[in-house]
Amino acid sequence: MKKSRLPLIIGAVISVALIVSIFVVVNYKNSQVNVASDEEQPAAQKGKEDEPTKEQPKTPDKTSEPQEQPDENGYYPNQTIPTEPTYIDGVLLANKRYPLPSTFAPGESPEARQALNTMIAEAKQQGFNLVAFSGYRSYEYQTTLYNNYVKRDGQAAADRYSARPGFSEHQTGLAFDIGEVGKDDLWLTEEFGETPAGQWLFDNAAQFGFILRFPQNKEEITGYMYESWHYRYVGVEIAKKIKEQNLTLEEYLGVK
Ligand SMILES: [Zn+2]
């Protein structure tokens, strides 16, 4: 009996000793971690997010995560204006996800203006008297414009029809609002897109390097409602690809 019980007893003693030592080590480690995180909280939060601590495991991750969901007007909460404009494959991108710096003031693009003039001349040949009634807008001008709308209608309403400063594609110098001469009542309306002139523009703009920037049923991607009048110069090659494949600029560039 004695012989057969001895290994059991030894085993039990070793087990107890192991459990006690694990308990001691774990407690010691916890106390070390607590001391460290109490004393160096700023450092621990800033640079040591991956270190497992019992007191604050997820808080640093959550606060540093970018807010991905846009609000009802397509703006991203806590969005910061960058110091440089965004170019993707050489194409300047300005939308609610990629705003422009306040210092970005290129003026109207001469290349875009020349293409616009050629397009307007060609439209005239076809019997359509088009005009660009709005083009380049500086950051300062957009600020004045937006603030006046906010004063008049409140921010929520203003956000529905006016871009905040830094978020307007007109600041690129590559965008134009186009309508028909003498038909001002249809400027900035969806109906313009249904007129023969608006239809001609939609069908032919790509040949001159322009795209309808905010097409129907693409609000989720562009962040803007359908704007039958707003055209953006991207060059003939890209404009034709975008038109042929029925894409938005965001889809073509592979961003949202
Ligand atoms: Zn516009």
Q: Are 120 and 216 members of one domain?
A: yes
| Residue 73, in any domain of the structure | no
Kindly write down the DSSP assignment for every residue of the chain, as one continuous string: -HHHHHHHHHHHHHHHHHHHHHHHHHHHHHHHHHHHHHHTHHHHHHH-TTS--SS-SSHHHHHHS------TTSPPTT----SS-EEETTEEE-SSSSPPPTT----S-HHHHHHHHHHHHHHHHTT--EEEEE----HHHHHHHHHHHHHHH-HHHHHHHSPPTT--GGGGT-EEEEEETT-GGGTTSGGGGGSHHHHHHHHHGGGGTEEESS-TT-HHHHSS---TTEEEE--HHHHHHHHHTT--HHHHHT--
Torsions phi, psi of 236, nearest 5?
A: -60, -45
**In the chain, % of residues over pLDDT 70:** 73
Least confident range from 88-92, 154-158, 209-213, 227-231: namely 154-158
Residue 128 lies in a domain: yes
| pLDDT exceeds 60 at position 29 | no
- pLDDT-derived band at 55, boundaries 50, 70, 90: very low
Same domain? For 166 and 204 the reply is: yes
Measured distance CA(93)–CA(222) in Å, rounded:
11
Beta bridge partners of 176: 231
98 and 53 belong to one structural domain? no
Which CATH number belongs to the domain containing residue 205 in this structure?
3.30.1380.10
Q: Could you give the angle at the alpha carbon of 220 between the alpha carbons of 240 and 157, nearest 5°?
A: 115
193 close to 213: Cβ distance less than 8 angstroms: no
Identify the CA nearest to 84 among candidates 92, 76, 74: 92
pLDDT tens track for 71-99: 888 888 888 888 999 999 999 999 999 99
The stretch 172-182 carries a mean pLDDT of 98
Q: Within a domain: residue 76?
A: no
Residues 115 and 48 in one domain: no
Identify whether residues 239 and 116 lie together within a single domain: yes
Asked if 46 and 173 sit in the same domain, the reply is no
For residue 232, report the distance from its CA to the centre of ligand 1, in Å: 9
> How close is the Cα of 27 to the center of ligand 1, in Å?
65
In a domain, 77, yes or no: no
Residue 70 lies in a domain: no
Residues 13 and 125 in one domain: no
Q: Which amino acid is at 161?
A: Y
Distance 69 CA to ligand 1 centre (A): 25
Same domain, 110 and 227: yes
The domain total for the chain is: 2
Regarding whether 231 and 111 lie in a shared domain, the answer is yes
Q: Do 98 and 221 fall into the same domain?
A: yes
Question: Could you give the CA distance from residue 115 to residue 130 in angstroms, rounded to a whole number?
Answer: 13
Domain assignment of residue 69, yes or no: no
Give the residue with greater pLDDT, 56 vs 237. 237
Span from the CA of 231 to the centroid of ligand 1 (angstroms): 7
pLDDT band at 8; cut points 50, 70, 90: low
Residue 59 pLDDT > 70, yes or no? Answer: no
Q: Which of 6-15, 47-56, 86-95, 219-228 has the lowest mean pLDDT?
A: 47-56
Cross-strand pairs, 131 = 179
Q: Is 71 domain-assigned?
A: no
74: left (phi over 0), alpha (psi -120 to 50) or beta: left
**Mean per-residue pLDDT of the chain:** 82
Whether 40 and 98 share a structural domain: no
CA 228 to ligand 1 center in whole angstroms: 9
Q: Is residue 75 part of a domain?
A: no
pLDDT band at 6 (very low <50, low <70, confident <90, very high): low
Question: Any idea which residues carry the catalytic annotation?
Answer: 227
Q: Which domain holds residue 25?
A: 2-64
The candidate with the shortest Cα–Cα distance to 98, out of 172, 3, 179, 26, is 172
Same domain, yes or no: 27 and 117: no
**For residue 244, how far is its CA from the centre of ligand 1 (angstroms)?**
22
CA of 57 to the centre of ligand 1 (A): 47
Ligand 1 center from residue 66 Cα (angstroms): 29
Cα gap 44→53, rounded to integer Å? 10
